Structures are given as structure tokens and as C-alpha cells.
Amino acid sequence: MTQRLHYSNDVNTTLNFLIEGGNYNAVIVLVDTNTRRLVLPQLSCLDNASVIEIPCGDENKTLTSLTHVWQELQQCGATRHSLLINLGGGMVTDLGGLAAATFKRGIPFINVPTTLLAAVDAAVGGKTGINYGGLKNEIGVYAPARHVIVSTCFFSSLPLQEVKSGFAEMLKHAMLSSQEDFARLLNFSFDSIDQDKLLELLRSSVKVKERFVNDDPTEQGLRKALNLGHTVGHAFESMAIERHQPVPHGYAVAWGLVVETVLSHMLLEFPSSQLYSLASFVKDNYGAYHFTCDNYPHLLDLMRHDKKSLAGEINCTLLKACGKPVVDNNISSDNLTAALDIYRDLMGM
Amino acid sequence: MTQRLHYSNDVNTTLNFLIEGGNYNAVIVLVDTNTRRLVLPQLSCLDNASVIEIPCGDENKTLTSLTHVWQELQQCGATRHSLLINLGGGMVTDLGGLAAATFKRGIPFINVPTTLLAAVDAAVGGKTGINYGGLKNEIGVYAPARHVIVSTCFFSSLPLQEVKSGFAEMLKHAMLSSQEDFARLLNFSFDSIDQDKLLELLRSSVKVKERFVNDDPTEQGLRKALNLGHTVGHAFESMAIERHQPVPHGYAVAWGLVVETVLSHMLLEFPSSQLYSLASFVKDNYGAYHFTCDNYPHLLDLMRHDKKSLAGEINCTLLKACGKPVVDNNISSDNLTAALDIYRDLMGM
């Protein structure tokens, strides 16, 4: 990882400093419809940058958007000495990172995540990707941004749903870190959000991710711990897309966390009291994702197609306790079925 | 570079050994129309492999072919524990390498180059790519194959033109290596080719490439020496595609080598006697690429769009002498125009 993280709520100054220091022959900024309108005007250091715009939303994290970015980079005359700045949520940083990593076999890029979800997850750690063939992040590479600017100053314009979505990844990091971190987050209130306090929570949350990523940048072993909640969460997310009722990624992760914590309790004796605390926090703040037993076979099938899975098996990270992850658990269909039953009970379905 | 090279004319045994040792959950082989017919039947170790076929020819090194490979990999249920074998020329190894490197953020692949050009160049060194927007290898990544099997046993079915095309890259390596290597290659005769002798020449040629690649895997500095002949060569190749009369890559490199050696003589005092030897060898074996002064502005424009170039400049590797490359020369339009004039003289145009 050659990626450098900068925590700052004065993004314009920080970004300007990084641009000046980089000696680039061109600066290009990638935005989506929302960040062009709401965020780009706040960054005067980008007044002279070329702008590439893509439509917002995960449903546009596609090959079509990617080829649009490639074409525009060509149009701008971008070279390996040009800089791409990805200004947006995880969709923009994932897709823009992939565009930069593959254009002329790689040009430098800086991520400026504008959502909590992107700041705590997508923009940090070098994973890039697009959805393909109905599967999330099916096409992508590991390619670290040169810099990532982590801030909370753009979150005030976000819907609460977006903040909650990012918070689910922070919950995951806390569970991977310690019981104390986990308890601290369960006490967080979404009613009146203190941006500076949130930046501090975010800083320690990102540090958890950094620790796992630095130990294992291409996900051969320990980094898989970061997939906690995601094998099941991705299946929920994929099913929601198929139903044409997409759900925010973090919501899917929150629900996935509950199911995988149920599995952790069943298989590794994760304490039941903490499982109940998690389930109740998730239910109160995220509601429940609804499905019936009839959906089980398809959900299991989606999990088997997860990148983390070997052919035909379902692979999850589980927890013995907070701070004690165990990677590469192969989950039987029976156990997963039981866990989905318990999830539906806990969520009052 | 974690890429391992194996020199062998018993490809079936070598490949079988590498497959057995890899513990893959699936083996998929990428072929083009030609290698499916001529080469695949010779490799019994692939009898049970899934086969993905793409149409042959550099004009099919496109996003369309790439998406076809992605779709087929999905169809085969390929995971990160599956193996892709790229069996073909540079088009197959470049495109297949990119497909493998981007599918689920990277699955392992083995290159089995079946042309001299691919063996000496494309399949070795970790560059992958497709052509895009009219530019060669515009989209790609650096991703080493897990293994490369270098052999000459498939060359006997190749047209002589194909062998000559690869030989041009060997010429380049020899010029980067020493005057002795260069002289040895100029004595090579295409009239009766000894496959074992060629494997030995190939081995020392690949070693030259390996040395530069290992010193600088992502082409920040010294590896650029390997671009000798390619800034001008790529421009010839691109123009030939635009004219709907594509030329073999190696032929374009041979002509590019002549122009860049002219520049080396003009700017760095490369010995004129060796320039004349090169020009006469190239003229005798490759003919000449024809164009007029009217084409100069467009050729220069194509060179300015080369990946190696900064915005608006033309960047070439040149030679003080054989074995003494100088990277990152910015060439003025005047000098390049003069060199193109001299090239046309030398080639008797």
C-alpha cells in the first residue's frame, strides 16, 4: 500500500497542496450528478480541472460508465503524468479507481470520498471495481489511490440514510477491533450528529481497516476478516437489485452482520448478549430486509457466487468474539438456513 | 515480478506439471480460432479444460472480446482459485492477461505463447491490454502471469512473416544488450530455421527483457529502454490500421527501430556503420513501410498520443551504442521529420 491518508475538514487546502506537490500535466476530476452540483463548487482548487461526469447511483457502476470515463480521459489528452481525482461516494471512487488503474496501464488518482460509506470503506484500501453480469464488483483490480482525503464536512448534505449506511461499516470495523469499540458505536445517536466527533470515530474506524489491508493488500488471508457481514450482505444486495428495489450497501451489510453474527454464535460461541444488542441496534436503525423461506435457495446461490467463495461453497468470516475474527469458514446450507431463520425471528419477521 | 519462466519444447508435460501443482478448482483455456485448431489438440493435459475462444487477429484485441471472456469466465463458474491458460499469440496473452487480472480483481493465469513475437515480448513481463479508441494497448494493467512456458515447438506451423515479426523484438533486445548479440542476429537466416538454435537465441533474448523488467516492473525508468523502436513503430502500426491495411507488430517495430536508430545517430552519435547494417537487414527481410511527407503531421500526432509521451511531447528511447540505452529523450518535430526523411532514403523510397 502506497496510499496516504489525510484527515481534514479543510479539503480545498489539503487537495490543493497535494495537486501542487504532484507536478501533474493535467488534473481531471470525476464526479457524479450529485457531487458536481453539491460538492465541486466548494473546491476552488478544481476551478481549472477538466470535469468528467457520470450518472449517480450504484446501478450506474457499469461497464458503460467505465467506458465513458476512458473516452473522456482520452478526450482530455490524459497521460500517465495526469491526475484523476475521484470526488464522490463509493460508486465514484470504485469506478474512477478502476478507470485510472486501467487507462494506459495506470495513471495516478486521488480519492475524495464524500459519503461516510466511501470514507470508511470504498475509498480506502485499494479495491476498485464495477458491477458486471449481475454481480457486485465482478470486474476490478487492486490499485491504491495515491492519496485519500478523509473528511466529514460533506456529510451534512447527505440524507440520514446515507450516513447510516456508512455507519454499518464502522460497526463492522468495531466488531473486528474490540468489545469497547463495539459498545461505543452502539451508543451513537443519529439524532444530532457532531461532525468533529464523527471524524474522530471515523479515524479510529479507518485505522482498523488500514491495519488489515497493510497486513495483506491482495486479500490472501487476514484481510478477508474485512468481509465480515459481506457474504450474506452482498446476497441481500444482489437480490434487492434483482427485485428492482435496491437497498443502500450499508443496510445490506448491517443485515448481513446480524446473520453472520448468528452464525458466529452457532459455530464459534460468539456471546449471545452482544448478538442481541447488535440485532436490536440494527432493527431500530436499519429496519429489516424481508424475505421468506422460498427465497433461501436463491440467496444461498448468490452467496456461492461471491468472490470469496470457492466453487460451490459458502465462505464467511466469523467472530469468536469482538476483536477475534476467524476467516475462511465454509458454511453448510443447513447452518445458513438455520441462521436465516433466526435472523427473521430476531428482526420480528 | 512473481512470474516464473519455463523453457521447454515438451509443453504438454510442463503444463501438466504446473496445473497439477497448482491445486486449482477449475482450468479454463483461452484460445483464438487458430490455436484452437492447430495447438490445443497437441496438449492432452487440457482435454478436460473449459475452452473460451475469441476470433484471432489484433483487430479483435477489443473490449468486445474482453467482455466475451469475462462472460465465459462467469459461465464456467470461475473463482479466484481457478486457472486461466492463455494459449496463443500476443493478442491472446495480452487480452487474456487483462481478463484474468480484472475478473474478481484477479485470478491466476499461465501464458503459453505460440508465436515468436509473444514468446519474446508480449507473454513475458506482465503487461496486459486491449486496443481502445484507435490506440494500441490503451486499456490494460501490469499483472504478471504466474508462469510462462517459452517454447519454439509451435512455430513450425507459423507463416514466415510471423517468425520475422517476433525476430524484430529479438533485434531490439540484442541492440539493448551488446554489439556481439546484435551482430549474431544480423547473421541469422530465415531460409532454414533450426528450432533448437532458435530456442537458445530466444532464451538469451528473453533474459535481456527480464533484466529490464525485474529492475523496474511498472516502467518508471529503466524499463522504458524496452520501448526502443516502439514510439515510431506504434505510430506506423496505428496508421496502418487506419488505412485498413494492418501490418504485423514486429514489422512496425523493425521500421520503428530504423527511424529511432537514425535519431540515435543524429542525437547521440550511434555508429553509422551499425545503422546501415540494421537498415539493410530490415529492408531485405521486412521491406519498407511506405508513406509520404504528407503523412508526417499525422504520424507525429500519433507519436504524441503514445503512452510513453508527456502531453504534446514525443518521447523515445535512444542508443549511444548497442548496450547503451538512454531513456526519456524528448524529440523535436524537426528532428523527427529529418529522421523520417533519412528512413525513406535508407529504405529506397
B27 SS3 class = strand
Contacts of B102 in chain A (CB under 8 A): 98, 102, 139-141
Q: Which of B63, B129, B311 has its CB closest to that of A105?
A: B129
Of B79, B140, B305, the CB nearest to A105: B140
pLDDT, residue B107, reads: 97
Chain A residues whose C-beta sits inside 8 Å of any chain B C-beta: 25-26, 63, 67, 70-71, 74, 77, 79-82, 98, 101-106, 127-129, 132-133, 135, 137-143, 218-219, 305, 307, 309-311
Does residue B242 surpass a pLDDT of 60? Answer: yes
How would residue B20 be classed by pLDDT, with cut points 50, 70 and 90? very high
Distance CA B329, CA B298 (A): 20
pLDDT one-digit tens code per residue, A241-250: 899 999 998 9
C-alpha cell read off for B289:
513501410
* Per-residue confidence (pLDDT) for residue B306, from 0 to 100: 75
- Asked whether residue B200 carries a pLDDT value surpassing 70, the answer given is yes
pLDDT tier for residue A223 given thresholds of 50, 70 and 90: confident
Q: Do A310 and B25 touch (CB under 8 A)?
A: yes
What pLDDT does residue A213 have? 84
- What confidence tens digit (pLDDT) does each residue in B254-308 have? 999 999 999 999 999 999 999 999 999 999 999 999 999 999 999 999 999 876 6
Report CA-CA distances (Å) from B157 to B58, B111, B256: 19, 19, 27
Residue of A67, A142, A309 lying closest to B79 (CB–CB): A309
pLDDT at A309: 67
Q: Which of B121, B138, B120 is nearest to B129 (CA)?
A: B138
Contact state of A311 with B26 under an 8 Å Cβ cutoff: yes
Interface test mutation site (partner B, options A23, A71, A95, A105, max chain B beta carbons within 10 A): A105
- Point out the least confidently predicted range of A231-240, B29-38, B155-164: B155-164
- C-alpha distance from B106 to closest chain A C-alpha (Å): 7
Query: Whats the size of chain A, residue-wise?
Result: 349
Q: Which of A26, A70, A137 sits opposite B132 (nearest CB)?
A: A70
Which residue from B minimizes the CA distance to A219? B105
- Kindly indicate the confidence band of residue A233, based on its pLDDT and cuts at 50, 70 and 90: very high
Mean pLDDT of chain B: 93
What percentage of residues in chain A have a pLDDT greater than 90?
Answer: 80
Cα three-residue angle A217-A222-A223, rounded to 5 degrees: 45
Of B102, B218, B311, nearest to A26 by CB-CB distance is B311
Q: Which chain B positions have a beta carbon within 8 Å of A309's beta carbon? A: 79
Report the chain A residue with the minimal C-alpha distance to residue B75: A133
Residues of B with CB under 8 A from a CB of A: 25-26, 63, 67, 70-71, 74, 77, 79-82, 101-106, 127-129, 132-133, 135, 137-143, 218-219, 305, 307, 309-311
Which residues in chain B touch residue A139, judged by CB atoms under 8 angstroms apart?
A: 70, 102-103
Q: DSSP 3-state assignment of A10? A: coil
Task: Return the biggest CA–CA distance within chain B.
Answer: 58
* pLDDT for residue A85: 98
ipTM above 0.90, yes or no: no
Compare CB distances from A139 to B70, B307, B309 and report the shortest one's residue. Answer: B70
Distance from CA of B141 to the nearest CA of A (A): 4
CA distance A146 to chain B (A): 15
User: What average pLDDT does range A42-64 have in this prediction?
Assistant: 96
What are the residues whose beta carbons fall under 8 Å from the beta carbon of A104, sequence distance 6 or more?
A78, A79, A80, B138, B140, B307
Determine which of A16-20, B165-169, B241-245, B304-308 has the lowest per-residue pLDDT on average.
Answer: B304-308
Residues of B with Cβ-Cβ distance to A104 under 8 angstroms: 138, 140, 307
Burial letters A155-171, b for 16+ CB under 10 A, else e: beebeeebbbbbbbbbb
Question: What pLDDT, on the 0 to 100 scale, is given for residue B190?
Answer: 87
Nearest CB to A102 within list B82, B140, B305: B140
Q: Where are the beta strands (DSSP E) in A43-188?
A: 50-54, 82-88, 109-113, 130-132, 135-139, 147-150
Which tens digits make up the pLDDT trace of B102-158? 999 999 999 999 999 899 987 788 899 999 998 889 999 999 999 999 999 999 888
Return the number of other C-beta atoms located less than 10 Å from residue B284's C-beta: 9
The SS3 call for residue A220 is coil
The pLDDT of residue B213 = 84
| pLDDT at residue B151, as a whole number | 94
Min distance B182 CA to chain A CA atoms (Å): 30
Residues A71-93 pLDDT 10s:
999 999 999 999 999 999 999 99
- Which residue in chain B is spatially nearest to A103 when comparing CA positions? B139
The pLDDT, as a whole number, for residue B194 is 83
Inter-residue contact B199 to B11 (CB < 8 Å): no
Q: What is the mean pLDDT of chain A?
A: 93
- Say whether pLDDT at B1 is over 60: no
Residue A346 — very low, low, confident or very high, per pLDDT cuts 50/70/90?
very high
pLDDT for B189 equals 85
Residue B111: burial class (beta carbons within 10 Å; 0-12, 13-18, 19+): buried
Contact residues, chain A, for B79 at CB < 8 Å: 307, 309-311
Residue A133: closest C-alpha in chain B: B71
B128–chain A nearest CA distance, Å = 8
| pLDDT for residue A338 | 97
Instruction: Give the pLDDT confidence score for residue B210 in this predicted structure.
Output: 87
pLDDT for the residue A63 = 98
Residues of B in contact with A63 (CB under 8 A): 67
Secondary structure (3-state) at A277: helix
How large is the angle between the packed helices A179-186 and A272-286, nearest 10 degrees? 30
Burial of B328 (0-12, 13-18, 19+ CB in 10 A): middle
Q: How far is A110 from chain B (nearest CA, A)?
A: 18
pLDDT of residue B158: 87
Which residue in the set B70, B127, B311 is minimally distant from A132, CB to CB?
A: B70
Distance from CA of B135 to the nearest CA of A (A): 10
Of B79, B105, B143, the CB nearest to A129: B105
The pLDDT tens digits for A107-161 are 999 999 999 989 998 778 889 999 999 888 999 999 999 999 999 999 988 899 9
Residues of B in contact with A101 (CB under 8 A): 141
Q: Could you tell me which residue, B215 or A17, shows the higher pLDDT?
A: A17
Q: Is the pLDDT reported for residue B215 higher than 90?
A: no
pLDDT at B196: 82
Q: Which residues of A touch B231 (CB under 8 A)?
A: none
Q: Are strands A130-132 and A314-321 parallel, antiparallel or unpaired?
A: unpaired
Do the chains contact at A307 and B102, CB–CB below 8 Å?
no
Contacts of A80 in chain B (CB under 8 A): 307
pLDDT digits (tens, 9 = 90+) for A236-287: 999 998 999 999 989 999 999 999 999 999 999 999 999 999 999 999 999 9
Q: Identify the CA nearest to B87 among candidates B110, B71, B106, B65.
A: B110
Interface touch A79/B139, C-beta < 8 Å = no
